[in-house]
Every structure is written in structure tokens, then in C-alpha cells.
Chain A
């Protein structure tokens, strides 16, 4: 974790990352993985029935997919790399060393996918008849297969972050890929993408069929049947996935869902999930049997609910892997399990490069404490913004000046009392410095700028060769 630390004290690093990642998933799942096969199917159906109106509708939907996936979709994908490199360079850098080839292959598939979506949309009107139309549908099929293939690879990485299986023992690539969560998560995401695509396309179609009630009726029925077909698979996959999440993580899930105040939220969440699914199912059944009954506003509801659920799933997934970025290997603040005892004995600052002080003295206590907080806490907490240290401690200890001994005890036992936080990665003097800084922070409430504005401390460089020797 020896990097200059980018830090946004207002909204918090995690929020930045989460926003980019969630937008990406919200586009990638429904609009790419799910919608390409749906549109291709629609195109095929239109050709089989010689239905030019359906074909044109499919084209207009495909055009929207093209615009959105080649801009916001592709760029948020790249944005995940950018934000991860800023926020958790140690994590993404380590994952890259394990998964380079997987990502490399995924990248090749991604290139083909982008080429194919361009071919698919830009040739739609030109390859309109006879053999060329068949080729065009073939392009759609290939496109669908490739976008699913990218998911197959990425899920391996995500699953790995949540539970690395046997990897920590033998560090082999294959055991990293076939981790215990792999198949359940893949099934869950695939089925969810298909259902969500149906929801989005349902809604989109309403813009393109304003003057054509008859066309709308046929199209709504078609998509309703699509959704009905996938829903049972989706439910089955959800159960499989939920049961596969390791027990320790399951205990954390409730907090992830909505902080500790809702520790018992789980059952409520299941109810909400049930309601969303029921609404989607009812709309789909009615849509299949009597599409006329469905006004546009009604379609917006399952669409928004479905996307909300998908976004929420991502948040929970992000949360339950705490306190690790790489399960059983590296904590979210970049400290690995084997570094931890070294830091706890010799000190965190001792081995850090981009800090102002290499050891705690009575004169530098507060500044050293700030650096320690930056290293040990800032990947998950801000000082005064979102999920702020100040707020967290005030909720615990109130607004009176905090008790020094209690803070000290909190820091030294933070992993035991809150298992989603890593153990404090420093020695006793550093714990005291952190406490001094926290107490100072409570009074001053100053925010801590990151390396992108403050730069790295000049003093840091001077004694950098002396520090590993002892």
C-alpha cells in the first residue's frame, strides 16, 4: 500500500467507485448482456413473420443500445480501472498480477464485442434481405455470445474477491478462477441481466410505438413472454447464490444493506425482493395475456424497481467482501495478512514512504496520527464527509470530548468488535497517535486533503533509505 493516496474527503472514495461501478453494471447487464440477445430474437422473429414493423422497432432499440453502450457503457467500464487505480492501487495492482491473462482475454473479447455492435447497428439497413439478413442475424447471435463471455470472465474476478477458495494456499490461476462463488454468481447475473433487459426494452418500446397500437401490442407480448421465461431461472439462481456466500460474509450482509441500525433488515429485504419480483411477474403475465391493459407508467415501475434491485445487489456485493479487497490475502486498506504482524510490531509509519513522520514523537503526534488515519482508515472512511470518522465516533460516544482510553480500546479491538473492519495495522504508539488525532479532529473538524491536491510530503523522501534497516 505504498502509494500516494488519492482521497476525496467530501464524498468519500468508496462512493466514487461505487457510482462508476453501479452505473456500469446498470448499463452492461440490461443493455448489453441481456438486450443483445433479446433484440436479435426480435429481429429473427420479425424476419420469420415478414414483419417489417417489428424489424424496424428492433432496429430503433438496437440504435439506443449502440449509443449508450459505446459511450457511457464502455467508458464507465474503463472508469472502473481508473477509479480502482486511484482508490485502491494496491488492490487492483495485486488483482492484475493474478488475473492478467483473464483480463487480457476479456479485453480481446470486449474489442470484438464493440466491433460487432458497430457492425450490427451500422449495417442493419444495408444487409436487409436474403442471405445478408441471415448474416446480420448471425452477427447479433455472435454479439450476444461475446457479451456474455465478457461476463463469464469478469464474474470470475468478482467471485474471487469475495472468496478466494484455495488460492491463498497455492496461488495458482485456475484455483483462483474456480472459486466457490463462481458458478452461482454467474447464473445469478446472467438470469438477472435477461430479466432486466426485458424490463428496459419494454419501457423503451413505448417511445417507438406511439402511433402504432397494434405493433405495441405484439411487441409487449413478445417481451412479456421473454421475461416470464427467465424469471424462474432468476429466482433459482438467486437462492443458489445466497446460499453460497460464505457464512462469515453472510453475517456482514445486513450491515451492508443499510448500516447497523438495520441489522435485522434481512427479512425485510427478502420481502421487498419478493414484492419486486411479484410486480414484475404480474406485469409480465398481464402483458403476455392482454398487452392492451398495460399503460406506459405501469411499465416504468418494474423497470425502475428492477434496476434498483440490481444496483442494490452490487452495493451489497461490494460490502460483504469487507474487510478484504482480495479475500484472505489483503485488507481493504492495502495491508496484507502477512504484513500485519510486522506493522503491529514495528509500526505502520516505519515502512510507509509517503508520510510526514517515520515514527511517533510527542511533538508530531497529531500529524503522525493523521497520516496513520490516512493509511489505515481513509480507504473506507472520510474524516467529516460520507461515512465520516467523526460521525461514526459521535454515534458511539456522543458529542462530549471523547474518552481517550475508550478510543484506544476501540482502535486496538476494532476488528474483533466490527468484523467488517480490518485489525489496526500499527503499534501501540501509533494507536495513541491516532487517538490523539481523532480527538483533535473532533474539535477542529478539518478535512484531510489527498495527494491530488496536497501532493506528497517533501520530508517523506529524505530518510526513505533508512527505514527498512532496523
Chain B
């Protein structure tokens, strides 16, 4: 393998020095679970937005579909807000567990990453407008209304791409030096196959959710969806789930085949095969449901839901396994580097505590000369840098060193041409006394010879 070679290219940063607040394995479990819950609502949001617009378009020709589309958009109102708030938890977990990787990917795709915020705001506002104008922009305005929905769909479709680019890029630190901006990050790993995999999963899950939502006994179907019957509504959405899952049989292997090989292990392979078996079982059940009559359709809903949950858990765990195995070496290198730095840091602190200085310059108490470094940025002997020269100061204070101290503690404003002098009260009277003496020594006309080497260094 070329792993050794690529490791040499790979940047190995030093981790933050505070410890994690909990055991990394527990954190990983929390991350996977919270992430799946989040992504479930993201799927329902994406699928809902897409299906609602498609159904609205169909509704131009078949009235009952328009009403169905409206009812779908009602579910989006809650699902999209849940998708966002439920995203914060996994965001915190991933930034804890992969601090050095996640933030690095964020920075490398910075502009795209931060634009997620305005994009989601726009998408949500347009979605509200779309929903609350549904029964107002009718007749001749209907096309405008549909265009609004289509616009929202486009904004919604762009956002997952940015997220995928980030969680993809963080897995490949050896590629970081090649990245220049968001678009180049799309060339790393397998962002596009994953994107389509995600879109299809959204349609499949949303279909299943809506089959249950509108198909449940308590739903006031006659009132909310006049002209539809329960069996046919269930069938419509089951079909969507069915075909989307069939499509996954193509996208799934594509995602797997395009994964950079570094993180693929036997365990992962077995797990994914298990997932495929579950998916096949699901398809069989779905087909059975779709083919049964209106009075029977829906009998196996609970089983289908359960199998989907298993499938999602398998895929989520698989992803985490891949992430861990592809980052294992890199994480170990980071940990090693961090520990080595900490020992240097601790040794330095001990020297300091023992009064030995940091180890280069000999530690000695402050002197007038060393303290004058605080003033040298603005005051020079006979040049005007950002303040009156020491010659001038000498002229004013030659018999009054106390005046310098008083001024330095609470500088006034005399000369309009300069930015005001900051206070140096924090140096303390004793130190200021030393500086004052030193300044008067430098500023005195006799000190001319000495002055040439003073303000430059230190």
C-alpha cells in the first residue's frame, strides 16, 4: 500500500490539551445514535419538500393530488424544524470526537460551510411562504406558486452537498494539502455517490413515513384529503419507497465501490452485506403490501418499519466503522504528538515555577533598561516615532521623575498629532520609578553616546 508514503505527506496537528469530557467509545455511540435520529428528520424534510412539489405539479391535472401535496407540505413544517434542532447534538459530538479533523474540514471548505446558515434560512422562509400562500396563489397564480416550491427544492438540494463534502473530507487528512476551496473538496473520496444515496434514502423513508402518517386509522382522511381512500394513499407512498429502495440497490454498491480502500475492513464488509440482505427482505415485503387489496394493505407496516430501522442502524454503524478505521493511524499520530508537546510544556512550567526562567535567557529582575522596552514602541531618544522624543520628555521632567510616573499611570492628552498614550499603571510604582530614571538618563544631552544602541533591541 502507499499508506506510508501518504502518511509522510499528511499533516499531523497537535490536539487541544484539555481532556475529553467522556470516554471516546461512549461518545461514539451517542454520536451514531443522535446522528441517525437527526438524519431521519433530514430525510423526511428533503423527501417531503421534493414530493410535495412533484405532487403539486401533478395536481394541476389531477385535483386530489394538489390537496395531497398540501398535506405533505404541512408535515414539512414540523420535520424541518426538528431536523435542524436535532442536528446540534451530533454536531457537538462530532466536533468533540474528531476535533482536529472536523474543524480542519470546516476551514478548508469555509465559505461553503458558513453559507449553510443563510441557505437554510432562505430555504425555510421560502417553504413557509410556499405553504401559507397555497390557498391564496391559485388559478392564474398557481404556476408562480409551483415555481416558488421548485425554487425551495433547489436550495434544499444544495445544502446536503456541503455537509457531505465536510464529513467526507475530514476522513482523508492525506488529501488536505491538495484542497483549495469547497469545489476541490468534492473530488476527494466519494461525495457524489453518497449524495445520490442520501437523496434516494430520503425518498424511501419519506414514502414510508407518509404511508403511515396518512394511512393511520386516526387520520381524518375524508376531511383532509377529499377524494382519496386510505388504501390507495398507502399504495402511492409504498410505491415510492419501493422504487427508491430498488434504486439503492444500484447506489449502495456504487457508494461502497467508490470508498477509498484505506478504511474498508472485513467487519465492515460483513456488516454491509447484512444490510443488503435486510434491504432485499424489505423489498419483498413492500411488494407484498403493494399487491394486496385496499382492505389488507398496511398489515405489515410495523415489520417494514422495524426492518428499516435495522437497515439504518447497520448503515450508520458501518459508516462509523469506516470512519474509525480510516482515521485510526492519524489519530494515533496526533495523540503521540500531543503527548510529546505536553511534556515539553510541563518541563517549562516546572522551570518557571522553580524560578529558573524558561531555559534560554538568564532570569534576572527587571531593570530600567528592560522595562523601557514597554515604552520603546513609541518613544525613541531623538526620533519622533509615535510620541515625543526622550529629549523632549527630559526637557519637561528633568527635575521631576515623579511626574513621569504620575503621567504613565494616568496619561493625559496634550498633543493632538498623536494617538493617546495608554496607561501603564499595571507596571506598578516601583517599576515605573526605574523606567523614569532610565528615561531621564537616556534623554539627557550627555547620554548621546549611549543612546545609539538602546531602543532597538529587546
Contacts and interface: CB of A to CB of B under 8 A. Distances in A.
**B interface SS class:** helix
B376 A100 contact: no
A413 B431 CA distance: 15
A164 interface: no
Interface string A240-264: 0000000000010000000011010
**A interface SS class:** helix
A75 B121 contact: yes
Contacts of B9: 458, 461-462
Contact of A3 (B107, B383, B424): B107
B92 interface: yes
A468 B21 contact: no
Contacts of A3: 13, 100, 103-104, 107
**What class of interface size applies to chain B in its complex with A?**
35 or more
Contacts of A67: 125, 128
Interface string A397-437: 10000011111111011101111000000000000000000
Interface stretch (B196-204, B265-273, B340-348): B340-348
A70 interface: yes
A96 interface: yes
B276 interface: no
A101 interface: yes
B377 A341 contact: no
A82 B114 contact: yes
Interface string A313-353: 00000000000000000000000101101101110000101
A165 interface: no
B139 interface: no
Nearest to A119: B78
Interface stretch (B177-185, B229-237, B298-306, B443-451): B177-185
B110 A6 contact: yes
Interface string A72-89: 101111110111011001
Interface stretch (A129-137, A196-204, A299-307, A448-456): A448-456
B45 to A, nearest CB: 13
Contacts of A75: 84, 117, 120-121, 124
A4 B104 contact: yes
Given A79-B117, A81-B88, A450 B110 contact: yes
B358 A341 contact: yes
B11 A97 contact: no
Residue in A4, A100, A339, A469 with the greatest tally of chain B CB atoms within 10 Å: A4
Contacts of A341: 348-349, 352, 358
A260 B413 CA distance: 12
Residue in A96, A98, A354, A410 with the greatest tally of chain B CB atoms within 10 Å: A96
Nearest to B176: A456
A50 interface: no
A195 B115 CA distance: 33
B136 interface: no
Interface residues of A, number: 90
B456 interface: yes
Interface in B68-104: 77-78, 81-82, 84-89, 91-92, 95-96, 99-100, 102-104
A166 interface: no
Contact of B12 (A96, A101, A353): A353
A107 B420 CA distance: 46
Contacts of B36: none
Interface stretch (A110-118, A210-218, A277-285): A110-118
Contacts of A51: none
Contact of B91 (A81, A86, A409): A81
Interface in A86-145: 86, 89-90, 92-94, 96-98, 100-101, 103-104, 107, 110-111, 114-115, 118, 122
A78 B376 contact: no
Contacts of A115: 82
A5 interface: yes
A82 B92 CA distance: 11
Contact of A417 (B125, B179, B424, B458): B424
A274 interface: no
B195 interface: no
B380 interface: yes
Contacts of A462: 8-9
Given A75-B84, A82-B116, A97 B374 contact: no
A82 B117 CA distance: 8
Contacts of B358: 341-342, 344-345
Given A97-B20, A342-B345, A345-B358, A114 B81 contact: yes
B193 interface: no
Contacts of B2: none
15 contacts: A2-B14, A4-B107, A20-B117, A78-B87, A81-B95, A85-B103, A96-B96, A107-B85, A122-B78, A336-B17, A412-B373, A413-B375, A416-B426, A461-B10, A465-B12
Interface of B: 8-22, 77-78, 81-82, 84-89, 91-92, 95-96, 99-100, 102-104, 106-111, 113-114, 116-117, 120-121, 124-125, 128, 176-182, 184, 333, 337, 340-341, 344-345, 348-349, 352, 358-360, 373-378, 380, 383, 385-386, 419-420, 422-424, 426-427, 455-458
Given A406-B378, A455-B180, 18 more contacts: A67-B125, A71-B124, A71-B125, A86-B113, A93-B95, A94-B18, A96-B92, A114-B82, A351-B14, A405-B457, A406-B376, A410-B378, A451-B110, A453-B180, A455-B177, A457-B177, A462-B9, A465-B12
